[in-house]
C-alpha cells in the first residue's frame, strides 16, 4: 500500500541540454512546445519522470520521444526547483547535458511540434526558466 502525504509535493522533471560544437561556436538542440503552457515557445527537451523510472532513464526517454535522438551519454548538471518556474505547479527539474560529436538529425514528436539547433549566442525567447538554465550552463560548462 502506498503512503500518501497530507501536503502536496513537487513533481520531478528532467531536461536535456545537447550541445554541438560548430567551429568556434556551440549550438544547442531545442524543441518548440506543442501544448500549453508556453505553446509554440522554444524549450529544452524534457518532461516528467514516470513512476518507477530512474532520472537517467527519464532523460533518455524524453530526449528520444521529443527529438528522436538516442544513444547520447548525458551527465547530470544541476537541479532547478524555484516555485513558480512552471505555471502547472511546483516542479523540480534535474538538468543533464552532453556534447554530440556529430550533429544528430532531430525529428519533432510527442510534445514537440518542431526541433532546431540554435547558436547559444543567438537563442529565441524560451519557455519556463530555460533561458536562465542555459545561461548557467554557458557559464559553467562552455566557459573557456
CA distance 50 to 47: 9
Write down the pLDDT at residue 41.
Answer: 98
Domain CATH number, residue 49: 3.90.79.10
Tell me, what DSSP letter sits at residue 33? Answer: E
Q: How many domains does the chain have?
A: 1
Write down the pLDDT at residue 1.
Answer: 60
**How far, in Å, are 19, 67, 107 from residue 104 at the CA level?**
10, 10, 10
Whether residue 3 has pLDDT greater than 80:
no
Per the domain annotation, does 2 fall within a domain?
no
Residue-wise pLDDT for 32-50, tens only, equals 999 999 999 999 999 999 9
Residue-wise pLDDT for 70-123, tens only, equals 999 999 999 999 999 999 999 999 999 999 999 999 999 999 999 999 999 999
Per the domain annotation, does 60 fall within a domain?
yes
Per the domain annotation, does 4 fall within a domain?
no
**134 Cβ contact partners less than 8 Å away, ≥ 6 residues apart:** 17, 28, 44, 120, 123, 126
CA distance 124 to 52: 35
- What is the extent of the structural domain holding 125? 11-140
Per the domain annotation, does 3 fall within a domain?
no
Q: Is the backbone of residue 64 left (phi > 0), alpha (psi -120 to 50) or beta?
A: alpha
Amino acid at each position: 500500500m502506498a503512503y500518501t502525504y497530507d501536503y502536496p509535493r513537487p513533481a520531478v522533471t528532467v531536461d536535456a541540454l545537447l550541445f554541438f560544437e560548430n567551429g568556434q561556436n556551440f549550438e544547442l538542440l531545442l524543441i518548440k512546445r506543442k501544448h500549453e503552457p508556453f505553446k509554440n515557445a522554444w524549450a529544452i527537451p524534457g518532461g516528467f519522470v514516470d513512476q518507477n523510472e530512474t532520472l537517467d532513464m527519464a532523460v533518455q526517454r524524453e530526449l528520444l520521444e521529443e527529438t528522436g535522438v538516442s544513444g547520447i551519454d548525458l551527465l547530470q548538471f544541476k537541479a532547478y526547483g524555484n516555485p513558480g518556474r512552471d505555471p502547472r505547479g511546483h516542479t523540480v527539474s534535474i538538468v543533464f547535458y552532453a556534447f554530440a560529436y556529430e550533429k544528430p538529425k532531430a525529428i519533432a514528436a510527442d510534445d514537440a511540434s518542431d526541433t532546431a539547433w540554435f547558436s547559444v549566442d543567438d537563442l529565441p525567447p524560451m519557455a519556463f526558466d530555460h533561458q536562465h538554465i542555459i545561461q548557467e550552463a554557458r557559464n559553467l560548462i562552455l566557459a573557456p
